[in-house]
Structure 1
Amino acid sequence: MLRNREYQLVLFVMCLLSLLGIIAASFISAIAMILIAIISALLIASSLFFTSWRYREIAKLSSYLRQISSGDYSLDVRDNEEGELSILKNEIYKVTLMLSEQSSILKQDKIQLTDAISDISHQLKTPITSMMVMADLLTDAELPVEKRMEFTHNIHVQLERIKWLVSSLLKLSKIDAGTVQFKQEPVSVYKLCHKALEPLLIPIDIKEQAVSINGDQTISFLGDLNWSVEAMINILKNGVEHTQEGGNIDITFAENALFTEIVIADNGPGIPKEDLPYIFKRFYKGKNASEESIGIGLAMAHSIITSQNGHIVVQSEKGKGTQFRIKFYKQVI
C-alpha cells in the first residue's frame, strides 16, 4: 500500500495540511493545537485503515480472478452493498457467468465436433475401403474387360459420393460458423421450384413419377435463391428416393400476411413415427433409408431454411406419404 505513489502523494498532502493546521492552531492556544493534532492523527489513521481494507478486498478480487482464469467459475463474490467495490464485484460476477456459459458452449461444440469427425470417418471408411479393394483387383492383368469396366464405374460412383459428402459438409460448416452471407432479395417460388427440380428430372423420369406445381406465379419471399434451391433439392431428392415408381410428388405454395408457405408432398410409404423427431438430425438414417443414404441432406435443408428466417416441419403417416411444410416469415416473430 505504502509503495503506491498515488497514495504516497495523498498521505504527504494530508500530513502537510495537518502540519499547517497545527502551526496555525498554535497561534490561537495550546489546547487548539493539541486538538488539531489529535484530529489530524485520527484522520490519517482512518485513511490508512480504510485504504488497507480496500487493498485487502482488491487482493481477494485478484485471487478470484486468478481462479477464474484457471477455469473455476464456481465462486460467488456478489454482495448487496452500495459502493464502487460492490459494483465491481457484481460486474465481475456477471462476466464470470458469461465465461461459464461460453465454456459450456465450447465444451458442447468440442463434443459435437468429435461426434461429427467420427461420423465423417465412418461415412468415408466404407467407400474408401471399397475403392481400395477394387483398385487392387484392377492390377490383375488377367481381369476380364467387363469386370474392369464395372470396377472402374464403381470407383467413379464412390468418388462422386465422397465429393458430394465433402462439399455438403463444407457448406454445413460455413452455415454453422455464420460465415455464409444469405442474400435478402425477392425470390420467386415458382422459379425456385423449377430450378430445384432440374437436377432431379432424370431420376424422376426413370421412376416414371408425376410432379405437379401449383401456386400463384407472383408469390415470392425475401431470401437467397441459390441457397434456397440447395435446400429444395435435398427435400425433393428425399421424396423422389422414397416414392415408388409411378408415384406422385406435389408442390404447392401460397402466402398470407405473415409468411410464404411451400408444401412438398409425396404418396410414398411414409416415415416411421419413431424417426420423425430425428429426421433433420445430422447423419441420422431412418429405418427406410437406403444404403447409399448419408443422412445429411435434410439436415442441410433445415439449416439453410432456418438461417433465412424460415421454419420447416415434416408430417408423415405410414402408407400415406410424407409432407414437408416450409414457411418463410415476412418479419421476425
Structure 2
Amino acid sequence: MFRNREFRQFSLLFLVLVVLFSVVGFMLSLATGLLLLVSAAIFGAVFFLFTQKRYQSINRISSQIDLVLHNEERLFIEELDEGELSILQSEIVKMTQRIREQNEALKKEKAHLADSLADVAHQLRTPLTSANLTLSLLENSSEEAGRKAFVRETEELLVRMDWLLTALLKISRLDAGVVEFQNDPVEVEALLQTALRPLAIPMELRDLTVQLEVPEGAVIIGDMGWLAEALQNILKNGMESAGEKGEITIHCTDNPLFTQLEIQDSGPGFDPVDLPHLFERFYRGKSANATGFGIGLALSKMIIVRQGGSITAKNVPQGGALFTIRFPK
C-alpha cells in the first residue's frame, strides 16, 4: 500500500494537517485539541483499514490475472459490491473470457492447419507416385506409341498438380483475407461465356451439350475474374458427372430481389451420403470411383459467399445434380 506514491503523499499531507490543526486546537483549549486529535486518529484508522481492504482485493485480482497469464484454465474472483472494483472485476472477467476464446480459436486453427498440410501432402503424393511410375514405364518402354502415351499421361499428371497448387494458393489467400474483390456490374451472359471458354475443348471431346437460358440484361455485382473461377469449377464438376454425350443446362432468373443461376447436369447425381459434405475442403466422396482433389467446390463456395452470394446443391427427381447460386440485389 505504501508503495503507492499518491498514498504516501496523501498520508504525509494528512499528518501535516493533523499536527497543524491539533496545535491550533490546543492553543484554543485542551478539550478542543484533544477532540481534534482523537477525531483525526479515528478518521485515519478507518481510512487506513478501508484502503488496506481495497488493496487486498486488488492484490487478489492481480494474483488471479497472473494465474491466467500462466495458462490457468479458470479465473476465480470473489463477488464485490458495486463500485470501482466491481467494474474492474467485470472488465477483467470479459478480458479473460475473450483471451480464452482467442486461445481456443488459435488451437483449432493450428489443428486445422496441421490437417490441411497433411491433406495437401496426401493429395500431392498421389500424382507424384503416378508420375514416378509412368516415368519408370517410359524408361523401360521401347515402342514409340507406348512412349508417347506415357509422355501424355505424365503431362496430364503435371497439369493436375499445377491446378492443385494454384487452387491451394487461392484458398490460402482467401483464408488470409488478402483478396480484395471488385464490386463491378458483371453481365451474366459474359460471365458464363468466360467460365465456359476453358472447358470448350474437353466438352467437345465428350460431345457434351450446354444450354444457356439467360434473360437479356441480367447483371451480378461482383468480381468478374473470381466469379468466373467459381462457376468454372462447378461447370467442370457437371462436365465430369454428365460424361459422354451428356448435357448441362444453365438457367438464370433475374428479378428485383436477386439474380439466381441454376446449373444442372444429366449425370447420375450425388450419393445422398455425400450431399452434406460437398463443399468441405478435401472431401472426395465415399465412392471408390471418386476423382479430383476435393478442392474445386470448396473454392467456389468461398468465392461466392465472400461476395455476398449463396450456393446449394441437391439431386433432382428426373436425375442429375443441381447447383443453385443466388446473389441478392
TM-score (norm 2): 0.94
Alignment of 1:196-235 (within 5 A): 196-235=195-234
Find the residue that maps to 1:273 and give its secondary structure.
Answer: coil
Contact 1:197 1:233 (C-alpha < 8 Å) held by counterparts: yes
1:86 aligns with 2:80: no
More divergent stretch after superposition (80-89 vs 316-325): 316-325
Q: Return the offset for 1:129.
A: 1.8
Gaps of 5+ in 1: none
Alignment of 1:131-170 (within 5 A): 131-138=131-138, 143-170=142-169
Deviations 1:104-126 (A, max 9, x none): 11111112111111111111112
Q: Return the offset for 1:233.
A: 0.2
Q: How many residues align?
A: 329
More divergent stretch after superposition (248-257 vs 187-196): 248-257
1:190 aligns with 2:178: no
Alignment of 1:1-333 (within 5 A): 1-77=1-77, 79=79, 81-138=81-138, 143-287=142-286, 290=289, 292-317=291-316, 320-330=319-329
Deviations 1:243-299 (A, max 9, x none): 032222111112223221111111211111111100111111124575541111001
CA RMSD of aligned residues (A): 1.9
Cα separation, partners in 2 of 1:40 and 1:3, compared to 1, 3 Å = same
How many Å separate the matches in 2 of 1:193 and 1:214? 11
Cα separation, partners in 2 of 1:139 and 1:209, compared to 1, 3 Å = closer
Gaps of 5+ in 2: none
How many Å separate the matches in 2 of 1:238 and 1:80? 62
Cα separation, partners in 2 of 1:107 and 1:259, compared to 1, 3 Å = same
How many Å separate the matches in 2 of 1:46 and 1:179? 60
Cα separation, partners in 2 of 1:322 and 1:137, compared to 1, 3 Å = closer
TM-score (norm 1): 0.93
Q: Return the offset for 1:181.
A: 0.7
How many Å separate the matches in 2 of 1:241 and 1:110? 34
1:116 partner letter:
S
More divergent stretch after superposition (95-104 vs 317-326): 317-326
How many Å separate the matches in 2 of 1:186 and 1:192? 11
More divergent stretch after superposition (64-73 vs 236-245): 64-73
2:75 partner letter:
L
Contact 1:273 1:317 (C-alpha < 8 Å) held by counterparts: no
How many Å separate the matches in 2 of 1:264 and 1:289? 25
How many Å separate the matches in 2 of 1:105 and 1:124? 28
Find the residue that maps to 2:310 and give its secondary structure.
Answer: strand
Moved >6 Å (runs of 4+): none
